[in-house]
Amino acid sequence: MRIVDIIERSVPLEGAISNAVVSFTDHDVSLVAVVSDVVRNGRPVIGFGFNSIGRYAQRGILRDRIIPRLKAAAPHALLDDDGKAFDPAKVLAVALTNEKPGGHGDRAGAIAAVELAFWDLNAKLADEPAYLTIARAAGRPDVQPAVPVYAAGGYYYPQGSGKTLTDELLGYRDQGFDAFKIKIGGAPMAADMARIEEALAVAGHGKRLSVDANGRFDIDAALAYARAIEGYDLRWYEEVGDPLDYDLNRQLTELYSRPVATGENLFSRQDVKNLLLFGGLRPGRDIFQMDAGLSYGLSEYMAMLDLLEQSGFDRAQAFPHGGHLINLHIAAGLGLGGCEAYPGVFQPFGGYPSACPVGGGWVRPSDAPGFGLEQKPEIAAVLKTLCI
Ligand code: MG
């Protein structure tokens, strides 16, 4: 068994929305197809993956470095010991040939898109949904596919767009969501407090509402907002300061008694180790949001999860960033605390197809082989243009 081709396509994200720091209007995603020489029903078996959403495609790194290395590798260098499946850890090792340690950045997302495509391919070769492949790889045979889910949104819309926060959250509630996350830090504090109160009127309780500052705050703003929101008893206060400012995070957790969440911009196990050592995070309380699609793929993510558990944290504290089908399968297969969904934004990748219904705050993956990306019409339309 061998790889015949690896193809990258940069796909623009739809939607003119912003958080406290960035506008998503020019963001795109690297969609990758890994074409195997296995033929079923007259067609090659192909694995699809993408790097996470809310960032940029990585066509240069993929086309100039990562894809040529993988295509040049001997077939056995990418296979597991019995040759019946690809070994994602070996894929990662080959992809990192001649790359120096550290400085993870965009390289981590580029490699993630390919590594995740190999998980999709392995699941299709086994003719099973990816969450089962992932659970078996993690030694978790008693997998429960239903996953707690919340609707992430609550962005700052351009003036005059006619959209309101209340309308947006009510729309999510109509779709079966009972928990929500909104952005803060992109407006003066008084305006943000009004946004939180507006969202609470829909959510019904602070435990069903999280807020995300997208790394915007310095220590003074972080603590000022912490004091202002403490009484709301929010589900969590997310990515408050610079993602690598572990000292800020530690000071925050010393003052703020409610859960904080961070980790979506940590791209390696070493970064997570430093967060655990210096970030002040609290077992049983705080939330980890590392995302396989930003951090070299699932092999590296599983190593991060091992670190959490070795440090006294529970995998129920892990809610990966990135509300899409790949992370739904990862959350189900690894038994994580839950996942997010972007039901209204980040198309074509955000949210779930009708085969994965949301209800009562839960979502479950379908039985389609792999990540089931072909079942989401918006993604399927792009896949058709990609190859074959
Ligand atoms: Mg976030």
Give me the percent of the chain exceeding a pLDDT of 90: 87
Q: If you measure from the C-alpha of residue 115 to the centroid of ligand 1, how many angstroms do you get, rounded to a whole number?
A: 23
Residue 303 in contact with residue 273, Cβ under 8 Å? Answer: no
Beta-strand pair 28-40/358-359: unpaired
Alpha helices for 138-245 (secondary structure H)? 165-174, 189-203, 219-229
Q: What is the pTM of this model?
A: 0.95
Q: If you measure from the C-alpha of residue 82 to the centroid of ligand 1, how many angstroms do you get, rounded to a whole number?
A: 40
Beta partners for 211?
182, 237
- Mean pLDDT to the nearest integer, 274-296: 98
Task: Please state, rounded to an integer, the average pLDDT across all residues of the chain.
Answer: 94
Tokens of 183: 């952005």
Q: Look at residue 23 in the predicted model and tell me its pLDDT.
A: 63
Give me the percent of the chain exceeding a pLDDT of 70: 96
Tokens of 219: 């220590």
- Mean pLDDT to the nearest integer, 245-273: 98
Weakest mean pLDDT among 163-177, 234-248, 293-307: 163-177
Q: Which listed residue (27, 124, 181, 183) is catalytic?
A: 183
Residue 268 in contact with residue 108, Cβ under 8 Å? Answer: yes
Distance CA(278)–CA(276), nearest Å, equals 6
Q: If you measure from the C-alpha of residue 321 to the centroid of ligand 1, how many angstroms do you get, rounded to a whole number?
A: 7
Q: If you measure from the C-alpha of residue 239 to the centroid of ligand 1, how many angstroms do you get, rounded to a whole number?
A: 6
Tokens 């479950």 belong to residue: 364
* C-alpha distance across the termini of the chain, in Å: 19
Distance CA(131)–CA(336), nearest Å, equals 12
- Write down the number of H helices and E strands in the chain: 13, 12
Q: If you measure from the C-alpha of residue 262 to the centroid of ligand 1, how many angstroms do you get, rounded to a whole number?
A: 8
Q: Which listed residue (27, 181, 321, 329) is catalytic?
A: 321
Distance of CA 115 to the CA centre of its chain: 14
Q: If you measure from the C-alpha of residue 313 to the centroid of ligand 1, how many angstroms do you get, rounded to a whole number?
A: 20
Q: Look at residue 20 in the predicted model and tell me its pLDDT.
A: 59
Residue 241 in contact with residue 222, Cβ under 8 Å? Answer: yes
* pLDDT tens column, 78-125: 999 999 999 999 999 999 999 999 989 999 999 999 999 999 999 999
Nearest residue to 148 (alpha-carbon basis) of 352, 357, 337:
337
Query: Strands, E, within 236-291: which ranges?
Result: 237-238, 260-262, 287-288
* pLDDT tens column, 7-45: 999 999 886 555 556 666 788 999 999 999 999 999 999
Q: If you measure from the C-alpha of residue 287 to the centroid of ligand 1, how many angstroms do you get, rounded to a whole number?
A: 11
Q: Look at residue 123 in the predicted model and tell me its pLDDT.
A: 98
To the query of whether residue 183 is one of the catalytic residues in this protein, the response is yes
Judge whether residue 61 has pLDDT over 80: yes
In the structure, what pLDDT confidence band is assigned to residue 161 with cuts at 50, 70 and 90? confident
Q: Which helix or strand (DSSP H or E) is residue 44 part of?
A: strand 43-50
Q: Look at residue 202 in the predicted model and tell me its pLDDT.
A: 97
Q: Which helix or strand (DSSP H or E) is residue 9 part of?
A: strand 3-12
Distance CA(241)–CA(10), nearest Å, equals 30
Q: Look at residue 15 in the predicted model and tell me its pLDDT.
A: 62
Q: If you measure from the C-alpha of residue 41 to the centroid of ligand 1, how many angstroms do you get, rounded to a whole number?
A: 42
Residue 274 in contact with residue 268, Cβ under 8 Å? Answer: no
Nearest residue to 255 (alpha-carbon basis) of 307, 288, 209, 220:
220
Q: If you measure from the C-alpha of residue 387 to the centroid of ligand 1, how many angstroms do you get, rounded to a whole number?
A: 32
Looking from the CA of 297 toward its CB, the CA atoms found within 13 Å total 26
Distance CA(319)–CA(304), nearest Å, equals 13
In the structure, what pLDDT confidence band is assigned to residue 244 with cuts at 50, 70 and 90? very high
Q: Look at residue 160 in the predicted model and tell me its pLDDT.
A: 76
In the structure, what pLDDT confidence band is assigned to residue 214 with cuts at 50, 70 and 90? very high
- Mean pLDDT to the nearest integer, 124-144: 96
Q: Look at residue 26 in the predicted model and tell me its pLDDT.
A: 80
Judge whether residue 376 has pLDDT over 90: yes
Q: Which helix or strand (DSSP H or E) is residue 33 part of?
A: strand 28-40
Q: If you measure from the C-alpha of residue 80 to the centroid of ligand 1, how many angstroms do you get, rounded to a whole number?
A: 35
* pLDDT tens column, 311-345: 999 999 999 999 999 999 999 999 999 999 988 67
Classify 354 in phi/psi space as left (phi over 0), alpha (psi -120 to 50) or beta.
alpha
Nearest residue to 114 (alpha-carbon basis) of 236, 355, 292, 246:
292
Q: Look at residue 191 in the predicted model and tell me its pLDDT.
A: 94
Which residues make Cβ contacts (< 8 Å) with residue 180, sequence separation at least 6?
A: 150, 151, 152, 153, 154, 169, 172, 199, 202, 203, 208, 209, 210
Distance CA(238)–CA(183), nearest Å, equals 9
Fill in the DSSP letter of residue 79.
B
Q: Look at residue 54 in the predicted model and tell me its pLDDT.
A: 84
Q: Look at residue 163 in the predicted model and tell me its pLDDT.
A: 83
Beta-strand pair 237-238/209-212: parallel
Distance of CA 230 to the CA centre of its chain: 27
Judge whether residue 388 has pLDDT over 70: no
Judge whether residue 141 has pLDDT over 60: yes
Nearest residue to 159 (alpha-carbon basis) of 118, 189, 187, 132:
187
To the query of whether residue 71 is one of the catalytic residues in this protein, the response is no
- The residues placing their C-beta within 5 Å of ligand 1, an ion, are 212, 239
